[in-house]
Amino acid sequence: MLVSALEGHQRWAPHYDSRPNPLLSLEMRVLTDLLPPIAGQCFLDVACGTGRWMTYLRQRGADVFGVDVCAEMLAEAQRKPLARGRSAVGDATRLPFPSGAADTVLCSFAVGYLADLQSAIAEMARAARPGARVIISDLHPEGVSNGWTRSFRLGTDVFEMEHFGPSLEQLRAAGQAGGLKLHTHIESCFGEPERPHFRSAGKEHVYFSLTGVPAVWVGIWTKS
């Protein structure tokens, strides 16, 4: 069943944290080694969802605030002590943060759902102080071209969420238009650390066919 990204996340929210997700595992493995200094820094988490990154960053001493268009996902974030009271419902193209507020702006697995990619990245750049980092991760376009979908299962129903799947060139161009300079980009495939997630989901056989296909793309920009 094809649904909008908002409706999909509304349905998915109560189950989001309880299901094995190798994409999130791969992203965490790659991105934690690329993050700038965390302790004492101000992070903005755009499309923060259930507060996964907010919790990680606060555990390491950051001051973190999040925004998400889906109130149901934020309700799940409120259950996590370190994320509670630190997020608001809002649109990525109209962030409720002052200009130059953040040392780092993070947007994890969300830009593919945004119809107006350029406006969203421009807003992330606006909210970042000069010299700050803007970090974006998403499903790799090559995965999309190989037929991967942004979908989840509830009972016997499979929900596929509408997405726009920007190319790497579109992501780079949107960052440049927002006044950002791309200095790091990583294209990562699943490895042994993600294999248990496939096994838990009963899909270990799928793991072997996916290890050679880039699954996650991470871009890190600097605001001049």
Q: Where residue 190 sits, what CATH number does that domain have?
A: 3.40.50.150
pLDDT given for residue 209 in this prediction: 85
**Can you give the residue range of the structural domain that contains 198?**
2-223
Question: Which residue ranges in the chain fall short of pLDDT 70?
Answer: none
pLDDT given for residue 52 in this prediction: 97
Reference 175, options 220, 218, 137, 132; nearest CA is: 220
pLDDT given for residue 200 in this prediction: 87
Q: What is the pLDDT of residues 162-181, one digit of tens each?
A: 998 889 999 999 999 999 99
pLDDT given for residue 179 in this prediction: 95
Domains contained in the chain, number:
1
pTM for the structure as a whole: 0.94
d(CA 32, CA 218): 11
